[in-house]
Amino acid sequence: MDLGLTGKIAVVTGANRGLGLEACRQTATMGYRAVLTARGKTKGERAVAGLRRDGLDAAFCQLDVTDAASVRRLARFVARQGGRLDALVNNAGILIDGEEGPLGLKVAALSRTFETNVAGPLRVAQALAPLMDRGGRIVNVSSSAGQFKNLSAHWPSYGVSKAALNALTKTLAREHARDGIRVNAVCPGPTDTPLFQSYKDAGDYGRRVFESISRSFPLRRIGQPEDLPGAVAVLISDDAAVITGQILSVSGGLTMQD
């Protein structure tokens, strides 16, 4: 399968670890120059150094998706890489713990979560889309938490924000269709990251969350960070030339009944 990636540039936000770092690694492996962004300069540069040690083409740009000035600096940085951007992976996001059940939904947590998880991807897409010619590709990393009928029982602000990101994805896909820019989203389920593993050590509530989620996968295995980048790579490839406005679940069947 010819993915048509060689010589192209991709930006991945929130990419110093976990799913974002794996997305950077896979896109760079397949021929992209991966521009890795993260809020923390030290961790971001360390991640890029690791990719370069593996012989991959990667660059780092510090980015806070909630800061318009920071996003404008990213756009200038990308322009200096060659003047044209081929793909954007909006992965940066936050999850605020401490809300349990719909009655735990808090206005302050919802506002802060939306600023990163919804306004952030919009802000970055608006800044970088002018650097894309026809054929540009945007993939928003959403979550299965935004696909359930009851959104997320454990993290309601997160679930609501990811449902909004899915709606935003379709809106951007429609707006940019005339420009030849495709916009899609991928929705991973709970993934075996240090954050998820930490719930085992977070008291009775944390253990209940960890155990209930771990038992819920139809494939009987929890997702791994390396499970996501393949779906991202296909959506930013030439083989997905007529796919736009789609929300792809990558959750081990977790949402098949919703």
Q: Which helix (H) or strand (E) holds 232?
A: helix 229-235
Q: Which of 32, 158, 199, 205 is catalytic?
A: 158
Q: Tell the residue number behind the tokens 């069947």, with chain if given.
A: 253
**Catalytic residue flag (residue 158):** yes
- 200: tokens are 């085992």
> How many CB atoms within 10 Å of residue 194?
8
**What one-character-per-residue DSSP string does 91-155 give?**
----------SGGG--HHHHHHHHHHHTHHHHHHHHHHGGG--TT-EEEEE--GGGTSTT--SS-
SS (H, E, C) 169-212: HHHHHHHHHHHCCEEEEEEECCECCHHHHHHHHCHHHHHHHHHH
Contact present, 63 and 38 (Cβ < 8 Å): yes
What's the farthest any 2 CA atoms get from each other in the chain? 52
Residues designated catalytic:
158
